[in-house]
Amino acid sequence: MKENRTNKKSRKMLWGTVLITMVLSFMFFYVLYCSNNKYMTREEKAIHGLLYADGSYENLPVYYLSREWEYYPDVLLTPRDDLSDYYSRYISIGEYGGMELGDRDGDPYGSGTYRLRIMIPSEEHTYGLYLPEIFSAYNLYVDGVLIEQVGNPDPDHYVERIQHRMFTFKAHTSVEIMIAVTDKDSASPGIQYVPAFGNPLKVNTIRGIPVFINSSVFTLVVLVLLFSIWAFFRTRSRANALFAGVCLCVLGYTCYPLLYTYAALRVQPWFSLEMLFYYLAFPAMLLLEYEITERKYKWIGWVVVLTAVLGVGATVAGIFAGGSKTAVLSYGISWGTEGLKWFTVVCLMIAAFFYTEGEGKISLLAGTVIYAVSLAADRIWPLYDPIIGGWFPEWGGTILTGIFGMLLWKELTEGYRMRLIYEEQSRQMELRLMMQKEHYEKLTGALEEASRTRHDLRQYIRTASMLLEQEHYEELKEYFHRFARESSEKMQTPVCYSKNMSVDAILHYYAAQLEQLGVEFRHSVEIPAQMKITDLDICRIFGNLLENAVRAVENEQDSEEAYVNCVCKVRMGKLLINIENTYHGELRRNGEVLYSTRHSGRGIGTASVSKTAEKYGGYADFAAEDGMFRANVFIPLGNLEGKKSA
């Protein structure tokens, strides 16, 4: 019954996470759509191919030329041509997928000419025009003058080139912009991204901010990729390898804005590679999520293979669609890729929703919901061209990838912490074995010496008897003095600190170190013969505390004042361990967490002592004051052990 209530509560939390994340995500993307969208800016827009740029030159805003360009289909015009002889219509940038102008049976490829007149202040000034990538070759005319040619749009000598370009020119009163475009086989023919016009400094700033952001993101992803590869070779974790694959895919489809900024590229193979990396990110995300959630089902492999095959198929189909005489295939590919995106999101959400193990389930579910909402927002608000940052799916994919990274980072740091603890415990185990070996060798040596002394005792008695019979009393007296002196030197009995052999070995080891340092060691150790604490744990407590004490007094400038005091006794059914040592340093702690004085991290030894005490229902306390460090450990022994010890 209690388990059912827990499951219901968990399901309510998951559904609440889905709903709240969905609402907040839609709000976030709607804010982006309204405030970071070249189509939604407040400056004047063109009407019927005419834009009025009001105000002085100094106060001139950046105009995003998104609305109502004059468009002359199927012709490559120049300013010398009589435009009245050609059919034209008004279109918005990005309104159609190509030059078919919405006709699915029309030819999406060919030539087209865009024209826009802008009314500007009467004084002559320098203006800037920013043209994002235009597929795939064009001539730019400003006031009837050819300013630049990117590629060669002449159909008979067609050369495709794509590049983000910034142009400056002087003008007054009005300026006519004409862009003659030719495209024969790309995925998005014509002008698909909104140009910007205005003061060159402001336009360059608007252009430079995305470049800076893209460069920063690219650098960050490269560093994360290298770190993931390093982590994989150190840990051999499949999750780190898969995350490196996701990062590689992200790099593959985010590096092209930078390439288009600095170089004029051909459409192929670069555009197809960009799409391939984008589609391969889907199966990589699926594999990574299933690795993190540890949901090892057979159908998962088939889903991953299916998404990978569909992604590669969409890329290949896009290549063959280039140059098609109708737009039907392009529309079909677009629908297919949208279906692939939604299929991936559904699989990610199913895995995240039913993932009930670990602390990362809520964040993982929230990330997949954000990614799903980003795809929905891309369909709900299609006329979105970001001023800063990427498109909606790029935002969602980046957030989901970041959550993957945080979960893996948490797993890696936890694994590294456990590795440090394991190494420390292994070191302590080796040290403990060495202590017991030394202690055993001392005891063995003492027993062997005692055996030799007993063997030689007969010779001593025989010699003494002869001296006595001969009445050589002075020689006998001297002989007995020498025998007593030699016996006391050879028969030194090792100090017994406690009745527990393991603890006694540890005390002997650190007592010898303190003796070499010239530090006084005071001790009073009473350990009950029977108790619930294992030898391994009691040795872990004494070993860590005495090791810290020895290291502390090593740094004491005045060794004559330094000392270590070790007290262990049973009182009122509790085992009390108190170890004090001189210490004039500063104790670094944050609440209950004590930090090491040798490195910047948490003290492993004190943490191990605290954890061991808590294991038996006790606790450990550490304090430093008045030039002294005190470590107190309290462990309840239980009624039986307490009575026996008393």
- We find that the CATH architecture of domain 2-35+221-409 is Up-down Bundle (1.20)
Pairing relationship of beta strands 137-142 and 89-91 according to DSSP bridges = unpaired
Q: What is the pLDDT of residue 194?
A: 94
Q: What is the pLDDT of residue 642?
A: 37
In this model, does residue 643 exceed pLDDT 50?
no
Q: What is the pLDDT of residue 454?
A: 61
Q: What is the pLDDT of residue 375?
A: 84
In this model, does residue 638 exceed pLDDT 70?
no
Q: What is the pLDDT of residue 434?
A: 63
In this model, does residue 641 exceed pLDDT 90?
no
Q: How confident is the model over 582-597, as pLDDT tens digits?
A: 887 767 665 555 555 5
More confident residue, 321 or 37: 37
Percent of the chain with pLDDT over 90: 24
Q: What is the pLDDT of residue 457?
A: 61
Hey, what's the torsion of the CAs at 219, 222, 223, 225, to 10 degrees?
160
Look up the pTM and report it.
0.69
Q: What is the pLDDT of residue 72?
A: 95
Q: What is the pLDDT of residue 645?
A: 37
> Does the N-terminal peptide bond of residue 269 adopt cis geometry, omega within 30 degrees of 0?
yes
**Mean of the pLDDT values across residues 435-452?**
58
- Residue ranges matching CATH 3.30.565.10 in the chain: 498-646
What are all long-range contacts of 452-460, with beta carbons under 8 Å and residues at least 24 apart?
Answer: 453/487, 453/490, 453/491
- Residue ranges matching CATH 1.20.1070 in the chain: 2-35+221-409
- Is the CB of residue 559 less than 8 Å from the CB of residue 518? yes
Task: Name the average pLDDT for the chain.
Answer: 81
Q: What is the pLDDT of residue 318?
A: 82
Q: Which CATH number fits domain 498-646: 3.40.50.2000, 3.60.110.10, 1.10.10.10, 3.30.565.10?
A: 3.30.565.10
**Mean of the pLDDT values across residues 316-335?**
81
Residue 166, token pair as written in the block: 């910034």
Hey, what's the torsion of the CAs at 499, 500, 501, 507, to 10 degrees?
-90
**Mean of the pLDDT values across residues 431-442?**
60
- pLDDT confidence band for 70 (50 / 70 / 90): very high
Most confident residue range from 169-173, 255-259, 359-363: 169-173
Coil, strand or helix: which one is 71? Answer: strand
More confident residue, 206 or 448: 206
Of 64-68, 375-379, 460-464, minimum mean pLDDT range: 460-464
Coil, strand or helix: which one is 155? Answer: helix
Strand pairing partners for 620? 633
- Residue ranges matching CATH 2.60.120.260 in the chain: 50-198
C-alpha 372 chain-centroid distance:
22
**Mean of the pLDDT values across residues 623-644?**
72
Amino acid at 115: R
**Mean of the pLDDT values across residues 612-619?**
88
| CATH class entry, domain 50-198 | mainly beta
